[in-house]
Amino acid sequence: MWYDRQTLCGIYAHVEILVRAQTLDDVIKPYLHLPTAIQTALVRVETHPTFRSITKSTLLVLKALVSRASATNGTRIIHARLDRLAEEANVSYKTVQRALRQFHEFKWASPASEGRSEWGVFEAKRYRLSPDLCALVHLPTKEKTASELEQETELSDGAIYVDLSLKKDLRKISIENRNGEPPKLPAAVEHVPGETGISPTGICKLLGIARKAGYQLEHVILVAKPYLAKIGTASPGRAFRYLQAMLTNPKKVDYAGRAAQLERGDEPDPAKAMLAIAKQCRHKKFVHATKPGLLVRFFDGVAEVSCAGQVETLAGRQLEVLYADVAKGKLTEVIE
């Protein structure tokens, strides 16, 4: 088979690309935005003989995991979602799962959480690189002191820049505030810590959430008072999360109107009103005021409706219509 000159040049160029050895620049190029320590670690992952025993796809997952490590302490916890690791490494989700299990067997990385938060909600899994792996890839490790804040590498959609120039000053002020007097609460909610056990600082957080959502915290607390009374002061965290869930409810709720009804005490209870009518009508006979021949007999939980020789039995929610007619006076009792 004969090829023209242009076709042959294209074939040779393609073969040259396939057989050309990967250079150091090719390895570092996707990670130029990362710190130098992480770039060095990625080069070691690509070139160290220890990692030749794993497959290429597993190596890609390892590089994606190492790229999220801390440049000052490689053993710090890493937040990593498996689907995003798979997307970056260009492998399947199952491949990432198998790779992480393999890293755990080799004692290179281990899970630092079960994948659920303290409230049982699924969140990004946490992993920690082992000191042995950090030594292989030349990642620095050191133990954090008590005065240092834990800074974890978190996987995100884009770059996040945080100004930490005043971090120590802010931490010092926060510690002084905790050791001093608690924050002074508004008069409308100053009784809440004693009733629920929530700290004044927690009440301040709820006030901020309520203000952002367009509510007043005292209205929400008044509506939630029966539930908060059941919780008591033994579980302040539970009470805090309940109020927070009410404030962050996506559905807009008229807590102010509800609280006004509770304060006036004029809120009718439909269930109690319906139960009272049911007790009043039990074992009695009623006729319809505007429909001659319509006869209703009430029993325990059922009613028999007869009209023009036809009889029908109603029960459950069907009785609410009859009870409503009794309340409106459309059904009148037959005195025998």
Domains and CATH numbers, the chain: 5-154 (1.10.10.10), 192-264 (no CATH), 270-333 (no CATH)
Higher pLDDT, 87 or 1: 87
Q: Rounded to an integer, what distance in angstroms lies between the CA atom of residue 237 and that of residue 230? A: 14
**Highest mean pLDDT, choosing among 91-95, 152-156, 162-166, 312-316:** 91-95
Report the relative pairing of strands 153-154 and 77-80 from DSSP bridges.
Answer: parallel
Confidence band for 230, pLDDT divided at 50, 70 and 90: confident
97-124 burial: b if 16+ Cβ within 10 Å, else e: ebbbebbeebebbeeeeeeeeeeeeeeb
Q: List, in sequence order, every beta strand (DSSP E) within the chain.
A: 77-80, 109-111, 125-129, 153-154, 285-288, 295-298, 302-307, 310-315, 331-333
Does residue 14 register a pLDDT over 70? no
Q: Which of 109, 117, 32, 29 is nearest to 75 (CA)?
A: 109
Confidence band for 7, pLDDT divided at 50, 70 and 90: low
pLDDT digits (tens, 9 = 90+) for 47-68: 888 888 889 999 999 999 998 8
**Lowest-pLDDT range of 14-28, 36-50, 247-261:** 14-28
Q: Rounded to an integer, what distance in angstroms lies between the CA atom of residue 163 and that of residue 179? A: 26
Backbone angles phi, psi at 76, to 5 degrees: -70, 155
Confidence band for 175, pLDDT divided at 50, 70 and 90: low
Confidence band for 243, pLDDT divided at 50, 70 and 90: very high
Does residue 248 register a pLDDT over 80? yes
> Chain-wide mean pLDDT for the chain?
78
Report the relative pairing of strands 331-333 and 285-288 from DSSP bridges.
Answer: antiparallel
Predicted pLDDT of residue 156: 46
> What strand order describes the sheet that includes 310-315?
310-315, 302-307, 295-298, 285-288, 331-333
Higher pLDDT, 224 or 123: 224
Neighbours of 284 (CB within 10 A): 16
Structure tokens at 335: 């005195």
pTM of the model: 0.38
- Counting residues of the chain whose pLDDT is more than 70, the rounded percentage is 75
Higher pLDDT, 151 or 88: 88
Predicted pLDDT of residue 309: 81
**Lowest-pLDDT range of 30-39, 84-93, 191-200, 269-278:** 269-278
Does residue 3 register a pLDDT over 60? no
Higher pLDDT, 182 or 116: 182
Contact 139, 131 (CB under 8 A): no
- Counting residues of the chain whose pLDDT is more than 90, the rounded percentage is 7
Does residue 224 register a pLDDT over 80? yes
> What strand order describes the sheet that includes 77-80?
109-111, 125-129, 77-80, 153-154
Q: List, in sequence order, every beta strand (DSSP E) within 61-205.
A: 77-80, 109-111, 125-129, 153-154
Q: Which of 329, 318, 330, 259 is nearest to 292 (CA)?
A: 330
Q: Rounded to an integer, what distance in angstroms lies between the CA atom of residue 44 and that of residue 51? A: 9
Q: Which of 49, 48, 44, 90 is nearest to 69 (CA)?
A: 44
Coil vs helix vs strand at 183: coil
pLDDT digits (tens, 9 = 90+) for 142-165: 754 333 434 444 444 454 444 555
How distant, in Å, are the alpha carbons of 50, 146, 238 from that of 141?
20, 16, 38
